[in-house]
Amino acid sequence: VSSMEVLYPQQVNACVIEHPNKEAFVAWLEESQRKFQTQFQHDQRPLNHKTSPFCYLEEENGTPVFVGGCDDTLAFFRERTKTTRPTTTSPIRNHENDVDNEAASYDWDLVVIGGGSGGLACSKEAAKLGQKVLLLDYVKPSPLGSTWGLGGTCVNVGCIPKKLMHQSSLIGEIIHKDAKQFGWNISNASFDWSALVSAVQDNVRSSNFKYRVELRDKKVKYENMLGTFKDAHTLTLTNDAKKKGPVDVTFRRAVIAVGGRPRPLLYPGGEHAITSDDIFSRHDPPGKTLVVGASYVALECAGFLSGMGFDVTVLVRSVLLRGFDQDMAQRIGKYMASEECGVSFIHGSVPISIEKLKNGQLKVRHTHGEEIYDSVLNATGRYPDVDKLNLPAAGVTLNPKTGRILVKNEQTSVPHIYALGDVIDAPELTPVAIHAGKLLSRRLFGNDPTAIMDYTKVATTVFTPIEYGCCGLSEDDAIASAGQENIQVYHQHFVPLEWSLSSELRVMSKECYVKVIIDTSRKNLVLGFHYLGPNAGEVTQAVSLAMKMNATYDDFVHTVGIHPTTAEVFTSLEITKESGEDPSAASCCG
């Protein structure tokens, strides 16, 4: 046993913690180990077993019995724990000895708080692995009263309605700016905001329904209730709107996946501003709109509204797309501000007040002036939605700097309580929450200690009028991490074939660009990929696979492209930024 602990600590721990009386079992093991060590000095080594470890067991009559090596011993204990311990948990769990009172009985093996991307994925996987799972999802209405169904931010007020509206604006662009050159005569084309919202909301409601059916099929119990911790193993559930609760439930483990909500605008009259929680379900057209903020949500909303023909201004306090590559952010800003796209930007200014006028319009005073708008859309960032959880009752601690839940591998300060998705300090993206949720369940209930979420090299796309996809480090971060002397940037401008019949002005203003940042001291390892152009999400998704496999610049340029595509641009990057040469694409077909 002693050598097994050295060689295979996780497996031995897994055996030990499954024993019904852990303390007595550990004491017995230690005592046996001493005894067997003494005995071993006098004993003959078992003839049929030539490698370490040698594992013995003291059976009831006190005679040591040779069990075998590591595999035999694990098989022995697996068999034993299966028959002696009636439990709903997997017989061999991972090394995280997380439950304080293993023998106690609880209403649920797992309660997941939050039915968004992370919570849904985690609960379904846990149920698949034999756990008795309760999923809570409750939407607190936005200050303007918007609510929605099961599925969380992504499906109701995030990625999905946003991408559908982005698509609507791309269609508008094609109709108004490109169709004629491609032979189409589309006269009298007009846009109907309310029809779009109805179609988007139909799509959302059908997803809400599908989620409910999936939970039922996968045997996850869903309750449309708000969860609040009473203590470290109890949650109080309420739904005031439906006059349900309060009711207490106990759990062996809990996962907090409550996501985030838009930060309110704390200026006089800030309550008149709508947010991304409201825009996708609002049937009145927003009209002339002021977007406050320069986050990706701000620029995406400004972009699709402008593409639909609304007069849009963005009020920017400091930089566009903080946290993203600033060279790329400026290129996006330049295109959005161009005559072709037509978004106005007011830089270096913040709101002072919003006054609602008698006709319903909003008079906005900001540090650089004042103006009247039909709508103000506040997109100044998001906060973690922990308010109603009563985390102190459970003992879960927050990061004082960000207000998000502190975790290590999703485990909070309370070992049997976990957190994931937008509520922790991780990239705020749906696939991140989904992946982390699935892996956590596999780790906890599927006996897979290797199922650990890797938060690096996560690709993402900003769906602005010119789309931006990226993976890995920004140019500034790459320089900071590898040193300027080791960084080389290959870049290129390009014109997608799809645009080649469009007006020259349109093509010139909508500048497509790609850059790959490499570390020359690590065999030209690609540290960052940045792409500005059509279908950025599709292109970047594929590149992220290569980067995850540590692709180098040579791998990129030795890849044979698909012609004619925009993605093929990364297979022919030959001009470095350092060289100062013009990075415009050469002729298209050879």
CA atoms within 13 A on the CB side of 515: 19
Helix, strand or coil, per DSSP, at residue 312: strand
What token pair was written down for 519? 């570390």
Cis omega (within 30 of 0) for bond into 400: no
Integer Cα distance of 260 and 273 in angstroms: 18
Among 36, 56, 77, 138, binds ligand FAD (CB under 6 A): 138
**Nearer CB in complex with ligand FAD: 57/258:** 258
Alpha carbon of 95 to those of 11, 21, 195, 403, 410: distances in Å?
8, 17, 54, 29, 14
Integer Cα distance of 582 and 585 in angstroms: 9
Task: Give the contacts of 195 (CB within 8 A, at least 6 positions apart).
Answer: none
What are the DSSP calls for 11-30, one per residue? Answer: HHHHHHHHSSSHHHHHHHHH
Q: Can residue 429 be called a binding residue for ligand FAD (CB under 6 A)?
A: yes
Q: Can residue 149 be called a binding residue for ligand FAD (CB under 6 A)?
A: no
Among 53, 68, 118, 583, binds ligand FAD (CB under 6 A): 118
Q: Can residue 276 be called a binding residue for ligand FAD (CB under 6 A)?
A: yes
Own/partner long-range contacts of 403-408 (Cβ < 8 Å, ≥24 apart): 405/256
Among 115, 446, 533, 583, binds ligand FAD (CB under 6 A): 115
Among 131, 411, 430, 464, binds ligand FAD (CB under 6 A): 430
**Nearer CB in complex with ligand FAD: 256/512:** 256
Q: Can residue 119 be called a binding residue for ligand FAD (CB under 6 A)?
A: yes
**Nearer CB in complex with ligand FAD: 269/293:** 293
Least CB distance to ligand FAD at residue 88 (A): 23
Q: Which stretch binds ligand FAD (CB under 6 A): 134-142, 285-293, 339-347, 486-494?
A: 134-142
Q: Can residue 293 be called a binding residue for ligand FAD (CB under 6 A)?
A: no
Alpha helices in 174-318 (DSSP H): 193-217, 276-279, 296-307
What token pair was written down for 113? 């708080």
Q: List the beta bridge partners of residue 489.
A: 517
Q: Can residue 428 be called a binding residue for ligand FAD (CB under 6 A)?
A: yes
Integer Cα distance of 161 and 199 in angstroms: 10
Q: Which stretch binds ligand FAD (CB under 6 A): 68-76, 96-104, 428-436, 554-562?
A: 428-436
Least CB distance to ligand FAD at residue 566 (A): 19
Nearest Cα to 511, choosing from 526, 491, 527, 528? 491
**Cα 114 from chain centre:** 14
**Nearer CB in complex with ligand FAD: 436/569:** 436
Task: Restricting to residues 499-528, name those near ligand FAD by CB under 6 A.
Answer: none
**Nearer CB in complex with ligand FAD: 54/324:** 324
Least CB distance to ligand FAD at residue 346 (A): 22
Helix, strand or coil, per DSSP, at residue 517: strand
Integer Cα distance of 118 and 152 in angstroms: 9
Integer Cα distance of 99 and 96 in angstroms: 9
Among 14, 297, 316, 575, binds ligand FAD (CB under 6 A): 297
**Nearer CB in complex with ligand FAD: 439/487:** 439
Give, as one character, the DSSP assignment of residue 174: I
Q: Which stretch binds ligand FAD (CB under 6 A): 110-118, 345-353, 405-413, 464-472?
A: 110-118
Run of H or E including 533: none
Task: Restricting to residues 381-420, name those near ligand FAD by CB under 6 A.
Answer: 385, 388-389
Least CB distance to ligand FAD at residue 544 (A): 13
Q: Can residue 114 be called a binding residue for ligand FAD (CB under 6 A)?
A: yes
Least CB distance to ligand FAD at residue 98 (A): 21
Q: At which residue do the structure tokens 């149920």 appear?
A: 127
Q: Can residue 294 be called a binding residue for ligand FAD (CB under 6 A)?
A: no
**Nearer CB in complex with ligand FAD: 389/532:** 389
Q: Which stretch binds ligand FAD (CB under 6 A): 79-87, 88-96, 158-166, 363-371?
A: 158-166
Residue 248 · residue 234 · CB < 8 Å? yes
Integer Cα distance of 118 and 74 in angstroms: 33
**Nearer CB in complex with ligand FAD: 17/135:** 135
- Sign of the Cα pseudo-torsion (208, 210, 211, 213, in order): positive
Least CB distance to ligand FAD at residue 251 (A): 13
Residue 518 · residue 490 · CB < 8 Å? yes
Q: Which stretch binds ligand FAD (CB under 6 A): 126-134, 137-145, 443-451, 566-574?
A: 137-145
Within 10 angstroms of residue 370's Cβ, the number of other Cβ atoms is 11
Residue type, 516: V
The yes-or-no answer on residue 530 being catalytic is no
Q: Which stretch binds ligand FAD (CB under 6 A): 26-34, 427-435, 497-505, 526-534?
A: 427-435
Task: Restricting to residues 164-193, name those near ligand FAD by CB under 6 A.
Answer: none
Helix, strand or coil, per DSSP, at residue 514: strand
Residue 499 · residue 506 · CB < 8 Å? yes
Least CB distance to ligand FAD at residue 395 (A): 17
Integer Cα distance of 200 and 223 in angstroms: 25
Task: Restricting to residues 213-272, name those near ligand FAD by CB under 6 A.
Answer: 226-227, 257-259
Q: Which of 95, 283, 530, 563 is catalytic?
A: 563
Least CB distance to ligand FAD at residue 136 (A): 4
> How many chain residues are in contact with ligand FAD, going by CB under 6 A?
35
Give, as one character, the DSSP assignment of residue 175: I
Least CB distance to ligand FAD at residue 195 (A): 21
**Binding site residues, ligand FAD, CB under 6 A:** 113-119, 136-139, 152-154, 158-159, 162, 226-227, 257-259, 276, 297, 385, 388-389, 421-423, 428-431, 433
Residues annotated as part of the active site: 563
